[in-house]
Amino acid sequence: MRVDIEDVTVEATGVRLVEDIRLTAPDGAFVGLVGPNGSGKSTLLRTVYRALRPASGTVRLDGADLHAMSPPAAARVLAALPQESSAEFDYTVAEVVAMGRTPHRDRTAAGDREICAHAMARTGVADLADRGFLALSGGERQRVLMARALAQQPRVLVLDEPTNHLDIAHQLGLLAQVRESGLTVLAALHDLNLAAAHCDVLYVISRGRIVADGPPHDILRPGLLAEVFGVRAHRVRHPETGAVQLLFDLLPPTT
Ligand SMILES: Nc1ncnc2c1ncn2[C@@H]1O[C@H](COP(=O)(O)OP(=O)(O)OP(=O)(O)O)[C@@H](O)[C@H]1O
């Protein structure tokens, strides 16, 4: 399913948080959103998963206006992993994952159980099924919320810092799994090397505006990284795979 963000501006209390955003995620593409703290990544993603409404502009799923859809209709095609994990869940892991099935009308209890079991197995949380969500570690919670999103069987996944709290093996595992899912993915990522390795296309956001977009290594150039992130970047090659890796230093203070 294709996602088109068309000239979207989002405001809160009269302040423009993101402005005139144009972004396209073709069907099955993994699109990364990178930018410094406070640049507007979460605001844009929250607009795509309908926690916010655009002040102007339109978000389209295969051409249909997302904000004109009913909540269950939208939830049948789009699932999100929000940045703020809802710590108010006083439910077991199995119950949290089962919430992902709520939007589906044609469900059966047995079918739901199988889908949830599959989602929990994929994210490595099957052993936690009977544990209380509140008693989990940050990384375990993140993986349970990912299982809930997968149980929703969406066609579009919106991920806000999905690797937050995850150890390195789970970071690589989750991104590889997302990549292989074939879903259209829009993800905010802080780790530029992870973003470059997994995304088809990156959009760079700075002060609420998209300042670059394209294939990762075309746009993650030292000049742009200095300007947007305030770091000096050095490109090296992985000795075995040849993949480009970025090494970072703080820019020397300007006198
Ligand atoms: N409801 C609001 N009212 C006023 N300002 C807000 C509101 N929500 C967000 N902001 C501001 O909008 C800007 C963008 O915030 P946002 O959370 O989208 O950034 P981000 O790129 O996701 O940052 P981070 O990398 O730190 O998660 C920030 O300056 C933030 O303080």
Is 129 a residue whose pLDDT tops 80?
Answer: yes
For 206-240, how does the pLDDT look when each residue is reduced to its tens digit (9 = 90+)?
999 999 999 998 999 999 999 999 999 999 998 99
CA of 52 to the centre of ligand 1 (A): 12
CA of 37 to the centre of ligand 1 (A): 8
**DSSP structure class, residue 90:** -
CATH value of 3-219 in 3.40.50.300, 3.40.50.720, 3.30.70.890, 3.40.1010.20? 3.40.50.300
Cα 10 to Cα 103: distance, rounded to the nearest angstrom: 27
| pTM confidence score | 0.93
Burial tier of 195 (Cβ tally within 10 Å: 0-12, 13-18, 19+) = buried
For 133-158, how does the pLDDT look when each residue is reduced to its tens digit (9 = 90+)?
999 998 899 899 999 999 999 999 99
What average pLDDT does the structure give for the chain? 93
Is 87 a residue whose pLDDT tops 70?
Answer: no
Q: Which amino acid is at 116?
A: C
Give the start-to-end residue ranges of the domains of the chain: 3-219, 221-255
**DSSP structure class, residue 127:** G
Predicted pLDDT at 120? 95
**DSSP structure class, residue 165:** T
Q: What are phi and psi of 144, to 5 degrees?
A: -65, -40
**Could you tell me the two tokens for 58?**
């339109």
**Which residue puts its alpha carbon closest to atom 16 of ligand 1?**
40
Q: What percent of the chain has pLDDT over 90?
A: 80
**Could you tell me the two tokens for 197?**
């390795």
Asked if residue 7 lies in contact with residue 57, where contact means CB atoms within 8 angstroms, the answer is yes
Asked if residue 249 lies in contact with residue 231, where contact means CB atoms within 8 angstroms, the answer is yes
Work out which ligand 1 atom sits closest to the CA atom of 208: 14
CA of 215 to the centre of ligand 1 (A): 26
Which residues surround ligand 1 with Cβ inside 6 Å? 12-13, 15, 17, 35, 37-43
For 22-38, how does the pLDDT look when each residue is reduced to its tens digit (9 = 90+)?
999 999 999 999 999 99
Q: What are phi and psi of 57, to 5 degrees?
A: 95, 175
CA of 39 to the centre of ligand 1 (A): 7
